[in-house]
Structure 1
Amino acid sequence: MTLLLLAGTGDARRLAQGLADSDVPAIASLSGATRQANALPLPTRIGGFGGEAEFRDFLSTQGITAVLDATHPFASRITLRTAAVCRDVGLAYLYHLRPPWSPGPEDRWTMIDREEDAAQHIGPDQTVFLGTGRQTLDRFSNLEGRRVICRQIDPPTSPFPFEGGEFLIGRPPFSVPHERDLFTELGIDVLVVKNAGGSASRTKLTAAADLGLPVLMIRRPPPPDAPICDDLAEALDWAKRQ
């Protein structure tokens, strides 16, 4: 038995440690979105599979018997493909999907469905903080002309894709005081965030609530029609049983 852990989140890192501590034969896979990702305590491959045919070939040649998907809640293309392939070839599959964030009484959230919808809620003179990463940055092109700050882990390899934008380099985790001071220093008027869930990256939302800043919260894509759990211990127990 060899389990494939699709990683790239803090939850996946904790699962990898649990698998290693339990001596579960496993391989971790990282998409390579972060150029200098921290090492995992499992044999790790880095980079996309190249497509469905290549993914099927990897599963076969590596003798994979189960797949634990702990990718980002917005990595829907990878998750939908993985769930479909596992169902087709008869492999055990579990999607670990951490609970989404819910607004508290001090939060000023507006829910939106797509990145492109953010511009409808942002004035022409407002300064925008994008906590959404660079992968979907082009979808915000209708914010051109506003001051738009996008935080990412790695230094950019190309210019900002539209006028008025700038990159801010930073590696998490970030504390609430750090985020509060940062938003004040930058003169941020509104945050745009994906509903990724998790405690580590919620600090920016707490800081926004402290400052009374509005947040545009992008809803999650639909999950696959497949087994799903939101508890790390349950996911690890499932892996041990395979």
Structure 2
Amino acid sequence: MSPRVLVLGGTGEGRRLAEKLAQLGISVVSSLAGRVREPKLPVGEVRIGGFGGREGLAEYLRAERIGTVVDATHPFATRMTENAVSATETTGTELLVLRRRAWSPGPADEWHQVDSLAEAAEKVGELGRRVLLTTGRQELGCFAAARDIWFLVRTVEEPEQPLPPNMTTLTARGPFDTAAELELLRTHRIEVIVSKNSGGSMTEGKLDAARRLGLPVVLVRQPDLPPAPVVHTVAEALTWFRERGSHAG
């Protein structure tokens, strides 16, 4: 029985990588956190739910004879990444981080980049009173004190408490193209967008729309990369595996 690959997924990149590795004849298991009720499932074996911290993940790696872990989680899933670094160090397992590149501003963009949602909440009041908030359904409590601002909160599922007092929720799953985003911003008379700098094309349409309308955007910077090999695309990840022929078969 050859060593297996564990893909810590939940992203489009994770799903695509699991499919490509399976096509190469590599035994892959994808792990999803289970925070979304109806997640898009990757090809092959899937486990849903947490591991029980870094110790639980290390125990799983040993028990399941995992040879390589690919951290293909969301760029802001910092706790899972920290657990992956610790568990792979403890067990001597290879770790590869698949992290999509952050968005970069163009000359026509008015971006205000901050390091946390708390900073974003402080900044947004300086820029507008009608806000499209697309930072995910957790940690919205950072904006709960903004009583003179109206928020359109867009999440995949219903957001968690506490919530901003003046808000409307919109549950939707991307991709969101530029035309649809332009219509959304105009319909709701949005004056500023707040988002995490997640990178990728699935939700980039709102940035294109903001550029066309001349709207400011508050973006939370991606966390620092962990001390591990990092690739930014599925193609780069496959190259990394092929260079280790013992895994690629």
Q: Does TM-score exceed 0.5, indicating one fold?
A: yes
Distance in 1 (alpha carbons) for counterparts of 2:143 and 2:241: 39
Q: How does 1:1-242 map to 2 (within 5 A)?
A: 1-123=3-125, 126-156=129-159, 161-240=163-242, 241=244, 242=247
- Alpha-carbon distance in 1 for matches of 2:59, 2:218: 40
CA shift, 1:145, in A, is 4.0
Preserved CA contact (<8 Å) 1:28 1:43? yes
> Cα RMSD (Å) of the superposition?
1.7
Q: 1:119: how far off?
A: 3.1
Q: Name the amino acid aligned to 1:180.
A: L
Distance 1:159 1:194, change over 3 A: closer
**Matched residue type, 1:34:** V
Q: In terms of mean alpha carbon deviation, does 51-60 or 198-207 score higher?
A: 51-60
Give 1:114 shift: 1.0
Partners of 2:64 and 2:167 in 1: CA distance: 43
- Of 143-152 and 198-207, deviating more is 143-152
Structure 1 CA distance, aligned partners of 2:125 and 2:8?
Answer: 39
User: How many pairs does the alignment contain?
Assistant: 241
Aligned sequence identity (%): 38
Q: Which runs of 5+ in 2 are unaligned?
A: none
User: 3-state DSSP class of the match of 1:239?
Assistant: helix
The 2-side partners of 1:89 and 1:58 are apart by: 10
Q: After the TM superposition, which parts of structure 1 deviate over 6 Å for at least 4 consecutive aligned residues?
A: none
Asked if structure 2 preserves the Cα contact closer than 8 Å seen for 1:116 and 1:142, the reply is no
- Structure 1 unaligned spans of 5+: none
- Contact 1:80 1:223 (8 Å CA) reproduced: no
Q: Deviations over 1:87-126 (max 9, x none)?
A: 2211010101111110012211011111111233333870
Q: 1:231 to 1:39 in 2, by over 3 A?
A: closer
C-alpha distance after superposition, 1:189-216 (max 9, x if no partner):
1101111111221111001111111000
For 1:135, give the aligned amino acid. Q
| TM-score, structure 2 as length reference | 0.91
When the two structures are superposed, what TM-score results if normalisation uses the length of structure 1?
0.93
Per-residue deviation, residues 118-168 of structure 1 (Å, max 9, x unmatched): 233333870111111112212222324421121111245x66623113311
C-alpha displacement of 1:36: 0.6
CA distance in 1, matches of 2:67, 2:96: 12
